[in-house]
Amino acid sequence: MKIKLLLIFVLSTSIINAQTAKTLQFGGITRNYLEYVPSIYNGSTPVPVVICLHGLGDNMNNFFGIGMNYVADTANFIVLTPQAIYDALAGGNAWNSGASYQGYQLSQTINDVGFINALLDSVTATYNIDQTRIYATGFSLGGFMCQRLACESTARFTAIASVSGTIGTSLNCNPSGEIPVCHFHGTADGTIAYTGNMYGNDPETLVNYWVTHNGCNTTPIHTALPDIVADGRTVDHYLYPNGNNNTDVEFYKVTGGTHEWLYYPANDITYTLEIWKFFMKYTKTPASIINDENEINIEIYPNPANSYLTIQNTKGNNRLTIQIIDFSGKVQYSNQNFKSVTINTKQWSNGIYLLKYSDSNSFSIKKFIVNH
């Protein structure tokens, strides 16, 4: 499942070096990831985030080569490329995506959904992030992981795009709402088979699941893409429109395609560009970020905080779950079923903190400062 990738674009040393290797402590484990912030980012306006997830046995450095950073340079979004934990039985880095084979679920004890959400929390504490435009894409096992995020973090992610990875056999997919989904799959994929997938559902079954779940038109709009390059592959695009809450489903069926990431000029299309074109169509509605029906309105005071911080829901009677996360991504405080709380901040270091609050259907984030 390791991607075999040639250079998609003409690379320059200065751009390659712009990626930053970082770590995040989560679940008692040091997690690694690459962060790419385009030079045009200035913090004045919120920007999207695209998370890129590698395949089984691959790593963050190799998968960075899909070239999402080049798109970010002009579209102005932050690219996060995290790395999975090594699975000894699998013999490589593996996401706990729900993919399994003969009863063995890869990296079953690792909370990768939690890690990716914590990574987003940490980045949100540092940069001006548009919470209505959080996207994830991945290849092979990374595609399976994208599907798990769509199933279990539906309220957080705006849209996902998977390549050669479906819903894992061990996963009970129960999304909290609709989400736009795009999938790419080759009919000659010898690793994640187009028919008879041993690790999850088949591509067409996956697409039908999301079409039904999102309430899309069941008859797609079919477009045969021009067969320009003599690469032994043809691409058919299927659009299933009119999903609830603007959540369409798209499917790229690559006849003759293997377990690979297509790119022009070697192929007729570049997956990286098509994925961003899909993502840029979608912005999550504010109601799915902040639940207006329940009238959530959080006040934080004083801000900056010195010795104490009070957090209060000033509207409605609903009780929330809150987390306070420091700059490194560590949870400093959590509370469930709260209406109002005052917290001693004397033991906390000076800096920026993130307050994440949620109910069963929605979440939101605020920043505050501790300054003793």
- Does residue 45 surpass a pLDDT of 50? yes
Least confident of 5-14, 48-57, 253-262: 5-14
12-31 pLDDT, tens per residue? 333 444 689 999 999 999 99
For the entire predicted model, the pTM comes to 0.81
Domain 290-370 has CATH 2.60.40.3080: yes
Calpha distance 282→218 (Å, rounded) = 20
More confident of the two residues 184 and 335? 184
The enclosing H or E element of 312 equals: strand 308-313
For β-strands 308-313 and 340-344, DSSP reports them as: antiparallel
Q: CATH 2.60.40.3080 occupies which residues in the chain?
A: 290-370
Q: Give the mean model confidence (pLDDT) for residues 266-271.
A: 97
Choose the CATH number for 13-287 among 3.30.70.20, 3.40.50.1820, 3.30.230.10, 3.40.50.720: 3.40.50.1820
Q: What is the mean pLDDT of the chain?
A: 90
Residue 10 reports pLDDT greater than 90: no
Which helix (H) or strand (E) element contains residue 303? none
Beta strands at 20-26 and 340-344: parallel, antiparallel or unpaired: unpaired
Q: Please, is 271 exposed, middle or buried when counting C-beta atoms within 10 Å of its C-beta (0-12, 13-18, 19+)? A: buried
Q: Is the pLDDT of residue 294 over 60?
A: no
Q: What is the pLDDT of residues 135-147, one digit of tens each?
A: 999 999 999 999 9
Closest of 288, 325, 276, 214 to residue 49, by C-alpha: 276
Q: Where in the chain is the domain with CATH 3.40.50.1820?
A: 13-287
Q: How far apart are CA 156 and CA 289, in angstroms?
A: 8
